[in-house]
Amino acid sequence: MNEKYFNEIDIEDEFFDSLKYDYPGFENWFRRKYNQKAYVQYDNNGKIMGFLYLKSEKDIVADVQPTIFANTILKVGTFKIDAHGTRLGERFVKIIFDTAVNENADLCYVTIFPKHFGLINLLKQFGFYEYGKKGDEINCEKVFVKDMRKISGNISIDYPLVKATGVNKYLLSIYPKYHSIMFTDSILKTESAEIIKDVSYGNSIHKIYVCRMDVEILKRGDILVLYRTSDFNKIAEYSSVVTSICVVEEVKNQGAFTSFNDFFQYACQYSVFDKKDLLYWYNKGGCKIIKFTYNIALKNRLTRHSLIEKVGLDRKGYWGFFKLNDSQFDSIVELGEVNRNIIY
């Protein structure tokens, strides 16, 4: 994903043809934005596959019906992807919400022509609801709004908000070779951004992780704090870190599947593991599959040393998977510089 100034983006790329058709004056609008930035995804040949422009507004949006009122409003000005099976749309949705959180936006909104049903369904999956309309009957767009101040109890619709009251919290370790290519906003400063690829397990908001730890105690809505273990030949005390906060959707034991094919069809949806990996683990037996949403990347990654000295985790305990108490979780949130507005 690249953040580019408008004057660095080729308006003649065929990607923009449909936008030029749908919005007369699009080219003039685009050129007026020359010194503003947008998010762009390119393919291996340098052709554009996705484009996202966001704009922060204040107090009122008067050119839609009914009028939108809120202190801070994030407008999704332009959002288009050429779908190609990598869940790139989810990656862009996460950027929308990350921006909303960083700007303390109360609402996000987007206007979409009804024919774009794929994009509409994606946005509705993550809590956008039909609010009103923009334009006349001949050239009318639907208006969809996401309220960043409300939590419903539905994990996907509430995303990225995290309900922390009345649920259990756990630390879950992830090996480095899986961590950063799955959790792309949580890569370390020492890692190159080149490891981030346009692949489904990296783009998706939903994630699947396969392990043999005793994670079957997890329940829907429980919170996972992801712990990236140390790289080979590095001291864990200062190289192992917590990076992310996630919310459990479901956990399945290997015995819930009638065959490896069933196991594979479920696990491959959002998983970094390929068929060979999954067959290896399946043949070993005792596999558990955790499906969860990737909600928060900590701004400040806490080392094992900090977790022991400042959070109070047990130095001698097993760090693969264990329960955190509320005080420990709150300390991780505070020290990790997480925006409290998304923790409920």
Which amino acid is it at 300?
N
Task: Give the pLDDT of residue 317.
Answer: 85
Rounded CA separation 246/253 (Å): 20
Task: Give the pLDDT of residue 139.
Answer: 84
Locate 59 and state its tokens.
């107090």
How far apart are the two ends of the chain, measured CA to CA in Å?
Answer: 30
| Contact status, residue 186 vs residue 180, Cβ threshold 8 Å | yes
Task: Give the pLDDT of residue 151.
Answer: 94
Task: Give the pLDDT of residue 163.
Answer: 97
For the chain, which residues score pLDDT lower than 70? none
Look at residues 241, 251, 183 and name the one whose alpha carbon lies nearest to residue 217. 251
Look at residues 95, 10, 77 and name the one whose alpha carbon lies nearest to residue 48. 10
The model's pTM is 0.94
Look at residues 76, 62, 79 and name the one whose alpha carbon lies nearest to residue 116. 79
| Contact status, residue 338 vs residue 299, Cβ threshold 8 Å | yes
Domains by residue range for the chain, with CATH: 2-150 (3.40.630.30), 169-342 (2.30.130.30)
Strands 206-211 and 288-303: antiparallel
| Contact status, residue 68 vs residue 41, Cβ threshold 8 Å | no
